[in-house]
Amino acid sequence: MNIETILQNAISHLLCELYGIEVEPGQVVLQSTKKEFAGDYTLVVFPYVKQARKSPEMVAAELGEGLKASVEEVCDYNVVKGFLNISIADSYWTSFVSEIAGQTRFGLKEVPADAKPVVIEYSSPNTNKPLHLGHIRNNLLGWSVSELLKADGQNVKRVNLVNDRGIHICKSMLAWMRFGGGETPESSGMKGDHLVGKYYVEFDKHYKAEIAELVAKGMDEEEAKKEAPLMKEAQSMLKRWEEGDKEVRDLWEKMNGWVYAGFDETYRSLGVGFDKIYYESNTYLLGKELVQKGLDTGVLYRRDDGSVWCDLTGDGLDEKLLLRKDGTSVYMTQDLGTALLRHNDFDADRLVYVVGNEQDYHFKVLKLILGKLGFEWAEKVYHLSYGMVELPNGKMKSREGTVVDADDLIADMEQTAEQMSLEHGKNDELSEEERKRLYHVLALGALKYFILKVDPTKNMLFNPAESIDFNGNTGPFIQYTYARIRSIVRKSSQELAARAITEVGDKERDIIKLLHTMPSVVAQAAQSLSPAMVANYAYDLAKAFNSFYQDTPILREENEGVRAFRVTLCDTVATALRNTMNILGIEVPERM
């Protein structure tokens, strides 16, 4: 039983015994004592003074005396107005270190064999462009949330829905047919996803030129966008695709094949993957069946032009298009089909969609329509809505080719990592192969940590140079701290077993208290689906360790028992850093 639970039980008992106040132990709220006061935990007694009919100071003092007399772990207390500050004996903290020493999975729960899965969808790229910085946040968030839930003892299935059909795909296909001259990844030396993305930009360039020409002839701009020959041809191509036209389908398969190969390479570089991949080209058909079901039951209706809609005005929204007048489907159509397929595949406890906040409305509509179609599990759909990533020079636009490609960003980060490592002289003892591996690990650590330390719901500004600094709240700072600890442990001749010592210093106690909170931090972060809580915990622990390291002798400590305790504490901190960073998908190097 941890000390918080011991204190909660004792305080609950004392409140009843002293004042007749019945409070469940779980309702007793304890806080960490502020740095300027002596103590480890603080109880605010104001909620109990009215029933106790005594002053706050008196209630706090009586509870403090009761705790000191009945709980052996409590060594002292002090009262500041209505705040009871409780001090825990060093013997508890040293015993805790002995208990967790050598636990390689410290802070992590096991997943029960019979746990229903939580299905997490992330990535969901379009096959008309390479993955970019926005996709990076999506992939890193999806992967780390999956790892976070696993660390909390939940069964997780990672899935990806590839948006491999639609008007955007046809734009790239049509531009390649018109302007590509038979170019391939092999002939161009480009990754397949980059090549297809090139022609998405080409389409937009020529499409804008056609619009300008029509406007110059006197046509209204909105009308010109609809009447531009390229757009009409792309729409015709989409209709032919849905009708199964062989020529269109063959080209679609060829160009998508190029993109998939490119995506796989980027996923490997980022260190992310999936348990199952769905394709919109398959799921939209099931979505169309659901639309027909909705028409048959009166949930949906068909307009005079043949398009199909769902009226959500009674739910405070508007009317939602589900099939265009030419019978082609929209994103909502395939998302209905995908949701049903995913539910049938996994019988999931939750269906979590990691998608940017610009799609908040879309997922409100998805849940509503699924519910109206009679699916009780619609309430299991959860949208993990995250903020956008921006660069110092503003937003990115795929159509205009102003995005930061994921591959280019990773390569640039690796170069920066190499430069920073050489400046700090942190790799002198490594071979050339080990150095290259280290640069990649540091680059990915910097990138992932910088993105994941920000609350998912917030927009963020990504600064590559700031992210890879070896000082401050960065991935490389934590990675270097871990490597430093591993070096200490390697140099020690002590066995990793905490000796029974009588007292610990303030900075040792700070570290142990942080270690003590790790399981609850992981649990809270999992409940909030926020890897940022884990990231900032790892930074706090690394910062506390470095403060301890600067002021406290470890290998130079003369007392053998104290030296053994400190080395064991170092090793336990390393375990906690490794486990928390692994939740973020970040590798920690043994040497730097």
The span from the CA of 120 to the CA of 138, in Å, is 12
pLDDT at 328: 83
In this predicted structure, what is the pLDDT of residue 417?
87
SS3 label, residue 571 = helix
Strand ranges of the sheet holding 308-311, from the earlier edge strand across to the other edge: 301-302, 308-311, 319-323
Please state the separation of Cα 99 from the chain's center in Å: 31
Cα–chain center distance at 542:
21
How far apart, in whole angstroms, are the C-alpha atoms of residue 364 and residue 381?
A: 10
pTM, whole model, 2 decimals? 0.90
Distances from the Cα of 348 to the Cαs of 119, 328, 333, 377, in angstroms? 6, 30, 21, 9
Q: Is 351 helix (H, G, I), strand (E, B) or coil?
A: strand
Contact 198, 180 (CB under 8 A): no
How much is the pLDDT for 496?
56
Asked if 531 and 148 touch (Cβ cutoff 8 Å), the reply is yes
495 CB-contact burial (10 Å; exposed 0-12 / middle 13-18 / buried 19+): exposed
Distance from the Cα of residue 92 to its chain's centroid: 34
Alpha carbons 234 and 181: distance in angstroms, whole number: 18
Q: What is the residue extent of each domain of the chain? A: 3-88, 122-390, 406-583
Task: Identify the three-state secondary structure at position 435.
Answer: helix
Which of 538, 457, 561 minimizes the C-alpha distance to 151? Answer: 538
Please give the CATH number for the structural domain made up of 406-583. Answer: 1.10.730.10
- Full DSSP string of 24-38: -GGG--EEEPPTTSS
Backbone φ and ψ of 298, nearest 5°:
85, 5
Residue 219: count of CB within 10 angstroms of its CB: 16
Bridge partners (DSSP) of residue 88 are: 74
CATH number of this structure's domain 3-88: 3.30.1360.70
Averages of pLDDT over each 10 residues, the chain, 592 residues:
94 97 96 94 96 96 97 97 96 93 94 96 94 92 98 98 92 96 96 96 96 95 95 94 94 97 96 95 90 95 96 95 89 92 94 95 96 96 92 52 78 88 73 89 94 94 80 92 95 64 87 96 97 98 97 91 92 97 97 84
pLDDT computed for residue 330 by the predictor: 87
How far apart are alpha carbons 335 and 511 in whole angstroms? 47
Pairing of strands 301-302, 276-279: unpaired
CATH H-level superfamily of 122-390? HUPs (3.40.50.620)
DSSP 8-state symbol, 555: T
Placement of tokens 């995913």 in the chain: 342
Per-residue pLDDT, 329: 84
pLDDT attached to residue 400: 46
